Amino acid sequence: MIIDTHLHEDRYSFDSKLPFDKAIEKAKNMGLDGICVTNHDNNHLKNDIGTSKKINDILVIVGAEILTFEGDILVFGLDDIPKDMIHAEELLEIVKNNNGVAISAHPFRNNNRGLGEYIRKVKDNLHGIEAFNASTLPHHNQYAYDIAKELGIPCLGAGDAHVSKQVGKYATHFSNTIRDEKDFIEAIKSKDFYPVIKENGYFKEMKPNYPSLIIK
């Protein structure tokens, strides 16, 4: 399955210009199997559709992008999102206690919202690093890829879409079948996934400095 694991829709993310229905439409046109809606500091969408739901053949999984004092972290599996800003270590402990998963979002983006080198301190409680983010400069994505490989943390790809054209620009290929939030969390914990990009009608594995592998 191919899922864009980081997306913002305009109802619950203040900086997004992407309507929820347009996100689903673009995902389907791109050939994605699913999207993760990770609005800023909230998971209010779950009140509308639950923690996950299949809509127009697109699996929608509700997570959140939480800004900690050290940077942004994508979280899945939390019923309640912290109301106040907290430190990354504290958020990761909350995720762990709730059997959820946490992913470092755009860790080296130059807007002071990535964990950057702080990843080294919290690596044991991270389940993935967003190495390919469509809203991040290529060399900053390269830094993320490099630290992920150095530390042995799995890489993901995502559009970080705030507008339609970013949906599915990068995505993540999962070997497991994912039907809902529970499956998604288990798939992340399994580490059996990798980032992809769509080129010439095919999704290809992202491997900087290595040949791409067509997988769909």
What is the total count of domains within the chain? Answer: 1
Considering only CA atoms, which of 52, 20, 36, 54 is closest in space to residue 170? 36
Please indicate, yes or no, if residue 174 is contained in any of the structural domains. Answer: yes
Please indicate, yes or no, if residue 156 is contained in any of the structural domains. Answer: yes
DSSP string for residues in 78-112: -SS--SS---HHHHHHHHHHTT-EEEE-STT-TTS
Q: What per-residue confidence (pLDDT) applies to 112?
A: 84
Please indicate, yes or no, if residue 183 is contained in any of the structural domains. Answer: yes
Please indicate, yes or no, if residue 216 is contained in any of the structural domains. Answer: no
Distance separating alpha carbons of residues 133 and 130, to the nearest angstrom: 7
How confident is the model over 135-186, as pLDDT tens digits?
A: 999 999 999 999 999 999 999 999 999 999 999 999 999 999 999 999 999 9
Whichever domain contains 51, its CATH number is: 3.20.20.140
Q: What per-residue confidence (pLDDT) applies to 214?
A: 53
Please indicate, yes or no, if residue 214 is contained in any of the structural domains. Answer: no
Q: What per-residue confidence (pLDDT) applies to 216?
A: 52
Q: What is the mean pLDDT of the chain?
A: 95
Distance separating alpha carbons of residues 161 and 38, to the nearest angstrom: 10
- How many C-beta atoms lie closer than 10 Å to residue 48's C-beta? 11
Please indicate, yes or no, if residue 211 is contained in any of the structural domains. Answer: no
- How many C-beta atoms lie closer than 10 Å to residue 123's C-beta? 17
Q: What per-residue confidence (pLDDT) applies to 212?
A: 47
3-state secondary structure (DSSP) of residue 152: coil
Structural tokens at position 177 = 């079948």
> Does pLDDT of 121 surpass 90?
yes
Please indicate, yes or no, if residue 81 is contained in any of the structural domains. Answer: yes
Tell me the residue range of the domain where 70 lies. 2-205
Q: Do 128 and 115 form a contact (C-beta atoms < 8 A)?
A: no
Please indicate, yes or no, if residue 54 is contained in any of the structural domains. Answer: yes
